[in-house]
Amino acid sequence: MNVPVNPSAPVNARGEIAISAPSGVVWGLLTGIEEWPGWQQAVTEATLLGPLAEGTEFRWKAGGIAFRSRIHTMAERRMFGWTGTTLGASAIHNWWFEDSEGGTTVRVEESLEGVLPRLLRSYFQRNLDAGILTTLDELRVAAEGRVST
């Protein structure tokens, strides 16, 4: 069941990228949660606490911050999403995959709310905007690298 981002949250970000790799490769990278540290520079730990399925929790660390997340959407090679919490903030994160000529178009959106995003809105907005761009580019590099090898 897809959980839409909260358009009224103090922080919202979106992004899109064209990746020269099949959707199965891109999907495998993003849903391979425990492998995130291998292709996302900011992620240092990631542990899936059960099968890769809607409702399963996972824990991860990025930028020195610990997150607790739960998968809310899994539609193979089409949609993947989770909710997550950390101290003073909660997020909704959604990904879409669309086959396109020569590869896959990936869209992502995230909303962030809570005490800290409200109090430090511009700081969190800058970081989320930059983080989405970085993650999309890291996903592109990793997926295209798997195709070219």
3 state DSSP class of 28: helix
Distance, in Å, from the CA atom of 68 to the CA atom of 48, rounded to the nearest integer, reads: 10
pLDDT digit string (tens) for 112-139? 999 999 999 999 999 999 999 999 999 9
Residue 149, pLDDT > 70, answer no
- Which pLDDT band holds residue 37 (cuts at 50, 70, 90)? very high
For domain 13-148, the CATH superfamily is: START domain (3.30.530.20)
Residues contacting 81, CB < 8 A, separation 6+: 2, 3, 71, 72, 73, 92, 93, 94, 95
pLDDT digit string (tens) for 18-29? 999 999 999 999
Percentage of residues in the chain having pLDDT higher than 70: 99
Nearest 5°: the CA angle 135, 139, 142 is 135
Which pLDDT score is estimated for 83?
A: 98
Residue 35, pLDDT > 70, answer yes
- Which pLDDT band holds residue 1 (cuts at 50, 70, 90)? low
Asked if 111 and 97 count as a contact pair (C-beta separation under 8 A), the reply is no
Please name which of 44, 104, 103, 62 lies closest in space to residue 80, comparing C-alpha atoms: 104
Residues contacting 85, CB < 8 A, separation 6+: 67, 68, 69, 91
pTM of the model: 0.95
